Chain A
């Protein structure tokens, strides 16, 4: 089976035009250093404003301080951009036939008519607008403590049911620390945004580096996961740290 086509763009974006053959010969650390700085990365899907939001939000979801790498060093924003540009973002596998009842109980599963990529777009626009109203600037330009406040408010709301689109529309721009059901005017169609963002951030942190994140396999090294080694028969029953570092699917080592 062939890889989804967006993986080709992963390579192009990640390596910045470096010949893949020579890059594969390099160690993972060297390879990560060869990749263009995130500031120079040209997103496949996200607009400049959305890219700034995702950079800032993932930097708070998995921060760089403390033990272990953060989302920025592991290039999680690149992963998210490429996912949104591909089958995941386009809901290629999902049942997307109507009628849609986005305000159905959360426990019956996502019912939004929007694709994940559209949910990111719609939610970021509203959150940035609300941040501008309440704090005077878009999310990316807030202080980290303010950003954490916003993310915490998003995590709390919107409510699980009974929240019609019209009600949420009317509440657009509500202060982030008000009732979660109207936080940031996220309509039921957009209510999955925060859980998608956190999930995608963790995916980018821990997925194979070929998807654009987990640069240098640093997240695997941090927790002690050996990646794609795929053979541990000699280590069954041994209560000792596994001695070998991770390998990736393309054969990088760290």
Chain B
């Protein structure tokens, strides 16, 4: 069975943050749009409503809003020599599923990269010399600048109702904000969240040590907010169920709370769920896409959907998977360094120190996803790479984003994992610990990349994506540097005891424990079609009517959570489509 549907102006693959932004911005132009979402439909009511969503087992542990590996997964290996094994059960990262995508289940930490992060290779070469870059490190410039993107960050932050304290506005440093952030044109739309006693204690100590603490910028509304689409956010009630959950309170910025109900009012916009795109179809000369083919689960048939513009807006690794399956760009070859599709996958280097304060009560269940006080004194622009011997940086945050007991109660080192000692320890320590964590960059390397697996296939018979990735000395050195800085602060905070967990020399990637869902790269943006998949407008070099949105564009990972940059780039690209591409379709560079 197969059918061919009527041609559309635009087909969007995936209806998360970037698909929703592209959808509404192009719908406003009157284009005829179809968005294809492979997961189910999801709305605040009924899918996130109280009290059903306050279910740690179902959503926090069994991953009710995540992709099921049975339907979609990848294989993973740590080196070119290792045999890749399927990621059979979710662990290290949790791709979202259904309408809203990962925009449903994030914590809401919303940052702007520092200016030099977009031109990292140039910055390092100019400042520290080309020798500072290890031979196997393949970092690149993005082809865009902080100044160019500022209006689009502003747009995303006001659309999403971000709560925060500006640090640098029109060149002026603002007390209480992040003095190391790139210049912004105005303050955040909402004031910062209220903070818990552990975060405030950290901020006091950090300030005394000469650091510059500020409230972590949050997509958890601190006050009511109405955005440009007329969508309304209500103030966060600190329910403590943020990451891995949909928001019960219309407080966490998401496609649902910020875009979708406004988008669905456009009659020229339609979306289909349970419709998995199998491949992008290319014209015979390969120079343009003609549309997509997807599996209509309801009709149980393949559908060919012609379109003038194809926007890949799936999760980062799935954008790359579709490109590899469709012949968009030359697959990257780690031996020769040629090809671009799948190149420069990178992740995030995090670590943390847990502190026990036996006589303090931190009520960890009182939390917004992005509660916490941060410092950025060891950011990528603050570190002398030549002196320290690594390239990278991080921000540090003290606080907690939930107090859910199955997901883990911190207990002192040496506590048994079961038995009377474990029970005693969880009773004694719940509510009396906090952590100071480092959220750091991860560089890109010649042998960290994505391609198609030679063995394993998905339910449609397509090869699974294969991820080759491991931790490298440079990034381990970075996180160990952060560990030293953090432990100095921790000692000044005077906990009863503390313990650290950072990647150490020889660390290898372990796919089992949750680390972060910040999988980036593989379809990277850049200045040169020989070294990047898409140009500075996230337009495929080889097929001008294909645009690829999301963190797959990052040539290496930033020190921050990616969603701020993903959102800003989505606005940047849709603006280019509307003002440059539609009047004159063709390569924008």
Residues of chain A touching chain B, judged by Cβ–Cβ distance below 8 Å, are 1, 60-63, 65-68, 70, 87-88, 92-97, 99, 101, 104, 106-111, 148, 151, 155, 198, 201-203, 206-208, 211, 219-220, 222-233, 235-242, 249, 251
Residues of chain B touching chain A, judged by Cβ–Cβ distance below 8 Å, are 46-47, 50-52, 54-57, 61-63, 68-70, 73, 76-78, 83, 85-89, 91, 194-197, 200, 235-241, 248-249, 360-363, 365-367, 403-406, 409, 417-420, 422-424, 426-427, 430-431, 455-457, 508-512
B197 touches A63 (CB 8 A): no
A68 touches B63 (CB 8 A): no
Choose among A148, A207, A236 the residue with the greatest number of B CB atoms under 10 Å from its CB.
A236
Which A-chain residue is minimally distant from B418 (CB atoms)?
A61
Given contacts A67-B427, A230-B241, A241-B361, contact A62 B56 (CB under 8 A): no
Which B-chain residue is minimally distant from A194 (CB atoms)?
B418
- Sample 13 A-B pairs with CB under 8 A, ordered by A number: A63-B419, A68-B424, A92-B68, A93-B63, A94-B69, A94-B89, A109-B89, A198-B417, A201-B418, A208-B56, A232-B238, A232-B366, A233-B236
B54 touches A95 (CB 8 A): no
Residues from chain A with Cβ under 8 Å of B418 in the complex = 60-62, 151, 155, 198, 201
Which B-chain residue is minimally distant from A97 (CB atoms)?
B456
Residues from chain A with Cβ under 8 Å of B404 in the complex = 225
A109 touches B420 (CB 8 A): no
Which B-chain residue is minimally distant from A109 (CB atoms)?
B511
Residues from chain B with Cβ under 8 Å of A206 in the complex = 56, 405-406
B76 touches A232 (CB 8 A): no
Residues from chain B with Cβ under 8 Å of A223 in the complex = 405, 409, 426-427, 430-431
Docked CA distance A207–B91 (Å): 19
B88 in complex: contacting residue of A67, A110, A202, CB < 8 Å: A110
Given contacts A67-B427, A242-B363, contact A230 B237 (CB under 8 A): yes
Choose among A108, A225, A230, A237 the residue with the greatest number of B CB atoms under 10 Å from its CB.
A108
Docked CA distance A198–B236 (Å): 35
Which B-chain residue is minimally distant from A148 (CB atoms)?
B419
A237 touches B195 (CB 8 A): yes
Residues from chain A with Cβ under 8 Å of B365 in the complex = 225-226, 232, 242
Docked CA distance A1–B59 (Å): 13
Residues from chain B with Cβ under 8 Å of A110 in the complex = 88-89, 512
Docked CA distance A220–B405 (Å): 8
A111 touches B47 (CB 8 A): no
A230 in complex: contacting residue of B50, B62, B89, B509, CB < 8 Å: B50
B509 touches A219 (CB 8 A): no
Residues from chain B with Cβ under 8 Å of A202 in the complex = 406
A225 in complex: contacting residue of B237, B362, B405, B510, CB < 8 Å: B405
A94 touches B52 (CB 8 A): no
What DSSP secondary structure best describes chain B's contact surface?
loop
Given contacts A223-B405, A233-B237, contact A155 B417 (CB under 8 A): yes
Docked CA distance A13–B197 (Å): 43
Given contacts A95-B69, A222-B427, contact A207 B512 (CB under 8 A): no
A219 touches B419 (CB 8 A): no
Residues from chain B with Cβ under 8 Å of A251 in the complex = 51
B362 touches A207 (CB 8 A): no
Residues from chain A with Cβ under 8 Å of B86 in the complex = 95, 97, 109, 111
Docked CA distance A223–B404 (Å): 11
Residues from chain B with Cβ under 8 Å of A203 in the complex = 57, 61, 406
A249 touches B409 (CB 8 A): no
Docked CA distance A151–B85 (Å): 29
B85 touches A108 (CB 8 A): yes
Docked CA distance A131–B235 (Å): 58
Which A-chain residue is minimally distant from B241 (CB atoms)?
A230
* 5 nearest A-B residue pairs (beta carbon): A223-B430, A95-B69, A207-B57, A228-B54, A232-B366
Which A-chain residue is minimally distant from B406 (CB atoms)?
A206
Choose among A60, A201, A239 the residue with the greatest number of B CB atoms under 10 Å from its CB.
A239
Residues from chain B with Cβ under 8 Å of A225 in the complex = 365, 403-405, 430
Chain B nearest Cβ from A74, distance in angstroms:
11
Contacts A235-B363, A236-B366 aside, 8 further interface pairs with beta carbons under 8 A come to A93-B63, A94-B88, A198-B418, A203-B406, A211-B57, A223-B431, A237-B196, A249-B51
Docked CA distance A233–B235 (Å): 9
Docked CA distance A212–B240 (Å): 23
Docked CA distance A51–B511 (Å): 32
Docked CA distance A95–B456 (Å): 10
Docked CA distance A14–B73 (Å): 36
Which A-chain residue is minimally distant from B238 (CB atoms)?
A232
Which B-chain residue is minimally distant from A249 (CB atoms)?
B51
Chain A nearest Cβ from B220, distance in angstroms:
11
Chain B nearest Cβ from A65, distance in angstroms:
7
Residues from chain B with Cβ under 8 Å of A70 in the complex = 423
